[in-house]
Amino acid sequence: MKTLIKNAQVVLPTGIEATSVVIEDMRIASIDASPQTTVDQTVDAQGLYLLPGVIDDQVHFREPGLTHKEDLSHASRACAKGGVTTFLEMPNTVPAAKTQTLLNEKLALGAKKSLVNYGFYIGATPDNIDDLRQATNTPGIKIFIGSSTGDLLVDGQDALERIFAETTLPLTAHCEDETTVQANALKYRDSTDVADHSRIRNHEAAIIATRRALDLAFRHQHRFHVLHVSTGDETQLFVEHQNLITAEACLLHLFFNVDDYARLGTLIQANPAIKTADDNRRLWQALQDGKLQVVATDHAPHTLEEKQQGYPNSPSGMPAIENSLALMLNQVNQGRCTLEQVVQWMCDAPARVWDIVNKGRIKVGYDADLVLVDLDRTRQVRNEEQQAKCGWSPWHGEELTGWPVRTWVMGHEVYRDGQFDLSRQGQEATYDHLRGGYWATAD
């Protein structure tokens, strides 16, 4: 199958150009091809922008074990609708993906059920160092330095030292200091006010854990990615990255703050907790300054019934992946960032951080993971239209301008204006960890 996408404004590594792109089978075959090129299908993209598919490097899709909240079929349709062509999923499913066997079982589920491309992290425990050393077919190792249950919580210094010293895969972590969180929880143990969640999981908890993780990474010279940075103060820690450290902001910490609890309550309860409006501002500035490289979602759905329980019985986390690109395109329209920056933060950077082969750019020979967006389309986020199994969004009712309209995964059009083609599944992402990550010379 050969497809010509013509008359688009194409976001290339060199900038935005009015040009054409030819897809042949699963790859980008040519750029700026003649309009007379012989093809099987022509897509006239006049007035639209063609972007690389979004790569979301932090999601929780709940399969196996918690599929009443989310599953790969629903979640991957949400991805396709939202312009996300590759996801990397966290290990805290049931059972947790902490061995190669369990990781392989999740990869098999992805091959069977995912409409888009997929990858799965392996989870660290205090005593699975042999599994971590031998792990393959994974973007990296996820450590929960705080905010987890069971043996995925790795808070002891000896265990952390071994993981940083004795493994070779890239590392990433949830950074909240467990001692600080538990001490604060005692202070607010009788609280039923969800706003106290941000006092329990406060600035100090985040900063202490992030400092600790960076110290380990620098001493052991081990590549490390800081997930969902929530405070402005943390961003100052990334100035000296030593070609080892990358970090990301997630939508909830960019768009919500403690003032929103009055309006949205437990719907925006999350770990790490949302912080202040000043933290929002400083996170956006850190993206502009290059201190943060990636924008992700931390898509972590629960049913609406679960979320509407009174605090502290309400679980932390919220769905976000379906509307992530639209939320950022809306910011482009409002002048907060450029379209090229959105592509850098959501497509190119995550591919480079995790050494994903042939993704993240519109470039000849790269995988044809593409999304066509209409920067002028305006519509509301509506709960009843969500593909995510939980069926709700914290942005319900918000009007956004700029939406994905068509999505291709490995050259196959999986989504067009509300309709899905479910006839093929996405593919397992592949990694070349010898490339050296984000700070290595780009190809």
CB 229 within 8 A of CB 283: yes
Q: Is the pLDDT of residue 149 over 90?
A: no
C-alpha distance from residue 116 to each of 33, 55, 101, 246 (Å): 27, 10, 22, 25
pLDDT band at 442 (very low <50, low <70, confident <90, very high): low
DSSP code, position 168: -
**What is the average pLDDT across 28-34?**
91
Residues in the chain: 443
Rounded CA separation 318/310 (Å): 16
Q: What is the pLDDT of residue 266?
A: 98
pLDDT digits (tens, 9 = 90+) for 401-431: 999 999 999 999 999 999 999 999 999 999 9
Answering whether pTM is above 0.95, one says yes
Tokens describing residue 294: 């990636």
Q: Is the pLDDT of residue 148 over 80?
A: no
Q: Which CATH architecture has domain 54-357?
A: Alpha-Beta Barrel (3.20)
- Domain locations along the chain: 2-50+364-377+399-420, 54-357
pLDDT digits (tens, 9 = 90+) for 202-228: 999 999 999 999 999 999 999 999 999
DSSP code, position 442: P
pLDDT digits (tens, 9 = 90+) for 348-367: 999 999 999 999 999 999 99
Q: Is the pLDDT of residue 332 over 90?
A: yes
Rounded CA separation 403/376 (Å): 8
Rounded CA separation 205/176 (Å): 5
- Averaged confidence pLDDT in the chain: 97
b/e map of 343-382 (b: 16 or more CB within 10 Å)?
A: bbbbbbbbbbbbbbebbbbbbeebbbbbbbbbbeeeeebe
What percent of the chain stands above pLDDT 90? 96
Amino acid letter for position 337: C
Q: What is the pLDDT of residue 151?
A: 83
Q: What is the CATH number of domain 2-50+364-377+399-420?
A: 2.30.40.10
Q: What is the pLDDT of residue 146?
A: 78
pLDDT band at 99 (very low <50, low <70, confident <90, very high): very high
- Residues acting as catalytic residues: 298
